[in-house]
Amino acid sequence: MKLQILVDGAPVEVDADLLNDVVEVEPGVYSILYGGRSYEARVTRSPDGLNVDTGGRRVSAEVVDPRERNRGAKRALGGGRQNITSPMPGKVIRLLVSEGDAVEAGQGLVVVEAMKMQNEMKAARPGKVAEIRVRDGDTVGAGDTLVVLT
Amino acid sequence: MFGKVLVANRGEIAVRIIRALRELGIRSVAVYSDADRNALHVRLADEAAHIGPASSSESYLRIDRILEAATRHRAEAIHPGYGFLSENADFAAAVEATGIVFVGPSASSIRRLGSKTAARILAKQMNVPVVPGNEEPATHLDHARALAQELGYPVLLKAAAGGGGKGMRRVDREADLEGAIRDATSEAERAFRSGEVYIEKVIERPRHIEMQIVADNYGNFVHLGERECSLQRRHQKVVEECPSPLVAMNPELRDAMGEAALRIARAAQYRNLGTAEFLVDQDKNFYFLEVNTRLQVEHPVTELVTGLDLVHLQLKIAWGEAIPFAQEDVTWRGAAIECRVCAEDPERDFFPSPGKILQLSEPAGPGIRLDSGIYPGWTIPLEYDPLLAKLVAWAPDRHGAIERISRALDEYAISGVATNLGFFREIMQERRFRQGDLDTGFIADFFRHWRIPECVPDLGVIAALAAASFSKNHQPETKNGQSETSRWLSQGRSEQLR
């Protein structure tokens, strides 16, 4: 059986048998033997799915339900909802887009200020601004959705 | 020796000091705000006192509450750590007035060295070179213009009471001078409640090298060599090392800068630990900047190379012991490098990233020292500095120290919050860093050509396998609110029943 996982939005197919060489050694920490090599990966939940840290890199991951394969493939092409969330509590100081705008990957959407630092929240993939959930001057919490892209 | 000492700080440095107290058989008193009840320093201390709400201005900066805690717990001395009240002369004076020993210099030494302009004047009197400029407040625009003209642009405006780059402005041409003075003054006013700024010549691409000094109550003054702290981001040190690669090639610099630092310390009737900071230009001329009248964040690199324990030394001097060695006894062996591990996200311009530490694997093994203030399950408070830990490696030479700290960085894993660990892994592989070709513009240069690193081979498959296993083992939401831990507990119980 093949499993499909979206890694940073791109579909990766792996053979389910490979899971036999994956051991959870600590909660959320996986020792993986693959191709004779030993890897370690750490998985934590994020508001949008899972984060995986391995080899000094962090990627997002989402396991695609086999019944929703088509949806998964579509999302990988840039479709699907994308929630832009605030990484920490702060204040919205500038909105850079309006509802209905088409945005490119990496385009700035909202500027949030916290601990006297300004942080521009960017689109991870191209899409369209479906919804803006905050206004200038709003106080936001960690993980709050600021903008929804489709 | 003291029977009990209060540590007026938090985080990794409070842990570091509590460890030293334990080693010397002294009871420790931690202080904590509302945000730090669960902090590691409170867990490790023998006693702990609550000193107020989360905001540091209502807790760790409250002289009255700290003194009250020290009195209530009958502490005989207070160690201020770094930051917070450590360089506050009023605090040192208030501690001494209560009959408690301040582990640091006298209030009057702190005052004499606390203002950058006063320290500059003292350095000049002692024939220690300072960056060209003068100490006059740049309030009269005509005077400021004339001075800048004489020094030659670019010039640097600096806050007399300053630190951490606040109230600092580089001015490249005369047309910008007036506006820059206005901006720097108002920024300094806000940050330090003193808007006084002065003008210095800009030293292009300097190295930042500092000298560790130590003095006792009996007129003994010794320097413990240098630390190179040229890797800075927004005037904050990021990586420090001993010896400085430049000094290693030019050992006469260590003697000259050490002697200069001690001349200033003697003139200020200094005692306990202190650090004189210098800029060194491309032609190896050094210029005195300022004295930090406290233990430095980066003190471990000096400890690993000299074999001394600086916190033990501080406590012994405060107790009234003489420095137990002479200048000629101090030796420097091997090389040490330190990385300041912070909860901040390099991919988001080092934005602070507080949150809960979900998993933690700490490096160990030969030559590794980790001064850390965190543990798995602990939530990093929003209110304080994002420094989590200092990873330090020692090896017989600099190349070995780089390889060793790289190995330790690979072992180190913190999940739940973003950290700068990956950034350090890249810095340690940089050709310029490995050659020891450092200056304070290094990090800015590094980021000018920085890209999110290429994926490691097999990253996609490995991440996919980990995510698939996680989804199989961990239900998305536990329906009855059972936590992961209680799930294993029940698993464990059911296994025992078999």
| ipTM for the whole complex | 0.70
From the list A44, A63, A142, the residue facing B471 with the nearest CB is: A63
Q: How many CA atoms lie within 13 A of B466 on its CB side?
A: 33
Query: In A, which residues are within 8 Å of B353 by CB distance?
Result: 87-88
| B355: closest chain A residue by CA | A88
Identify whether residues A91 and A109 lie together within a single domain: yes
| A38: closest chain B residue by CA | B462
Identify whether residues B145 and B270 lie together within a single domain: no
Which CATH number fits the domain that encloses residue A94?
A: 2.40.50.100
Distance CA B9, CA B4 (A): 16
- B429 CB within 8 Å of a chain A CB: no
Q: Answer yes or no: do A12 and B463 touch at CB < 8 A.
A: yes
Q: Answer yes or no: do B348 and A87 touch at CB < 8 A.
A: yes
Cis peptide before B154 (omega within 30 of 0): yes
Distance CA B28, CA B488 (A): 36
Domain end position, chosen among B141, B166, B201: B201
Query: Domain residues for A87?
Result: 82-149
Q: Is residue B453 part of a domain?
A: no
Query: Among the residues of chain A, which ranges form H helices?
Result: 69-76
Domain end position, chosen among A16, A51, A76: A76
Q: Answer yes or no: do B382 and A53 touch at CB < 8 A.
A: no
Identify whether residues B87 and B178 lie together within a single domain: no
- A124 CB within 8 Å of a chain B CB: no
Cβ-based burial of B91 (10 A; exposed 0-12, middle 13-18, buried ≥19): buried
Identify whether residues A39 and A67 lie together within a single domain: yes
- pLDDT(B495) > 60: no
Query: In A, which residues are within 8 Å of B423 by CB distance?
Result: none
The pLDDT, as a whole number, for residue B24 is 98
Q: Is residue B17 part of a domain?
A: yes
Which CATH number fits the domain that encloses residue B406?
A: 3.30.470.20
Q: Answer yes or no: do A18 and B418 touch at CB < 8 A.
A: no
Q: Binning pLDDT at 50, 70 and 90, where does residue A8 land?
A: confident
Q: Is residue B496 part of a domain?
A: no
Q: Answer yes or no: do A34 and B421 touch at CB < 8 A.
A: no
Domain end position, chosen among B65, B84, B103: B103
Identify whether residues B398 and B282 lie together within a single domain: yes
The angle that helices B398-411 and B421-429 make with each other, rounded to 10 degrees, is 150
- A39 CB within 8 Å of a chain B CB: yes
Identify whether residues A26 and A71 lie together within a single domain: yes
Q: Answer yes or no: do A41 and B488 touch at CB < 8 A.
A: no
Share of chain B above pLDDT 70, in %: 94
- A126 CB within 8 Å of a chain B CB: no
pTM of the entire predicted model? 0.84
Most confidently predicted of A23-32, A73-82, B343-352: A23-32
Identify whether residues B166 and B271 lie together within a single domain: no
Identify whether residues A140 and A100 lie together within a single domain: yes
Identify whether residues A48 and A70 lie together within a single domain: yes
Query: Among the residues of B412-458, which ranges form H helices?
Result: 421-429, 431-435, 442-448
Distance CA B201, CA B204 (A): 9
- pLDDT(A81) > 90: no
Q: Is the dihedral of CA B156, B160, B162, B166 positive or negative?
A: negative
Give chain A's domain count: 2
Identify whether residues A97 and A57 lie together within a single domain: no
Q: Is residue B417 part of a domain?
A: yes
Number of H helices, E strands in chain B: 18, 21
Q: Answer yes or no: do A88 and B413 touch at CB < 8 A.
A: no
Average pLDDT, integer, range B309-334: 98
Domain end position, chosen among A59, A76, A93: A76
Letter string b/e over residues B233-266, b meaning 16 or more CB atoms within 10 A of that residue's CB: beebbbbbbbbbbbbbeeeebbebbbebbbbbbe
The angle that helices B107-114 and B89-97 make with each other, rounded to 10 degrees, is 170
- pLDDT(A78) > 50: no
Identify whether residues B227 and B181 lie together within a single domain: no
Identify whether residues B185 and B223 lie together within a single domain: no
Pairing of strands A102-103, A82-85: unpaired
Query: Domain residues for B36?
Result: 4-103
Query: In A, which residues are within 8 Å of B339 by CB distance?
Result: none
Which CATH number fits the domain that encloses residue B141?
A: 3.30.1490.20
Sheet strands (E) in B191-220:
197-201, 207-215
Contacts of B446 (CB under 8 A, 6+ apart): B426, B427, B430
Give chain B's domain count: 3
Q: Is residue B274 part of a domain?
A: yes
Identify whether residues A86 and A70 lie together within a single domain: no
Q: Answer yes or no: do B464 and A59 touch at CB < 8 A.
A: no
Sheet strands (E) in B216-363:
221-233, 236-242, 272-280, 286-292, 335-342, 344-345, 351-352, 359-361
Rg (CA), chain A: 18
- B457 CB within 8 Å of a chain A CB: no
Question: How far away is chain B from the Cα of A62, in angstroms, using its nearest Cα?
Answer: 7
Query: What backbone phi and psi angles, to 5 degrees, belong to B350?
Result: 60, 35
Question: How far away is chain A from the Cα of B344, in angstroms, using its nearest Cα?
Answer: 11
Q: Binning pLDDT at 50, 70 and 90, where does residue B414 land?
A: very high
Q: Return the structure tokens found at B171.
A: 């001015």
Question: How far away is chain B from the Cα of A136, in angstroms, using its nearest Cα?
Answer: 20
- A56 CB within 8 Å of a chain B CB: yes
Q: Cβ–Cβ contacts within 10 Å for residue A127, how many?
A: 22
Point out the residues of B that are catalytic. Answer: 294
Q: Is residue B463 part of a domain?
A: no
Domain end position, chosen among A76, A109, A133: A76
Nearest to B415 by CA among A83, A39, A46: A46
Of B63-77, B210-224, B464-478, the poorest mean pLDDT is in B464-478
Q: Is residue B213 within 8 Å of residue B274, measured between CB atoms?
A: yes
Question: How far away is chain A from the Cα of B339, in angstroms, using its nearest Cα?
Answer: 16
Q: Is residue B153 part of a domain?
A: yes
Query: In A, which residues are within 8 Å of B471 by CB distance?
Result: 50, 63
Write the single-letter amino acid at B221.
Answer: F
Write the single-letter amino acid at B232.
Answer: Q
Domain end position, chosen among B54, B86, B103: B103
Tell me, what DSSP letter sits at residue B35?
G
Identify whether residues B379 and B286 lie together within a single domain: yes
Identify whether residues B197 and B211 lie together within a single domain: no
Identify whether residues B141 and B217 lie together within a single domain: no
Mean pLDDT of chain B, nearest integer: 91
- B249 CB within 8 Å of a chain A CB: no
Identify whether residues A69 and A87 lie together within a single domain: no
Distance CA B474, CA A143 (A): 21
Q: Is residue B122 part of a domain?
A: no
- A114 CB within 8 Å of a chain B CB: yes
Distance CA B444, CA B449 (A): 9
- pLDDT(A75) > 60: no
Query: In A, which residues are within 8 Å of B348 by CB distance?
Result: 87, 119
Identify whether residues A18 and A72 lie together within a single domain: yes
Q: Which residue has the tokens 């003075």?
A: B181
Question: How far away is chain A from the Cα of B426, in angstroms, using its nearest Cα?
Answer: 10
Identify whether residues A68 and A48 lie together within a single domain: yes
Average pLDDT, integer, range B224-228: 98
Identify whether residues A59 and A6 lie together within a single domain: yes
Identify whether residues B335 and B410 lie together within a single domain: yes
Nearest to B3 by CA among B113, B125, B100: B100
**pLDDT tens-place string over residues B340-378:** 999 998 777 788 888 899 999 999 999 999 999 999 999
Average pLDDT, integer, range A51-69: 82
Identify whether residues B334 and B441 lie together within a single domain: yes
Identify whether residues B145 and B279 lie together within a single domain: no
- pLDDT(A71) > 70: no
Write the single-letter amino acid at B177.
Answer: L
Pairing of strands B101-102, B77-79: parallel
Q: Cβ–Cβ contacts within 10 Å for residue A21, how many?
A: 14
Q: Which residue has the tokens 């010549």?
A: B201
SS3 B224: strand
The pLDDT, as a whole number, for residue A116 is 58
Identify whether residues A54 and A93 lie together within a single domain: no
- B473 CB within 8 Å of a chain A CB: yes
- The residues that bridge with B368 in the sheet, in sequence order, are B393
- pLDDT(B247) > 90: yes
Q: Between B44 and B385, whose confidence is greater?
A: B44
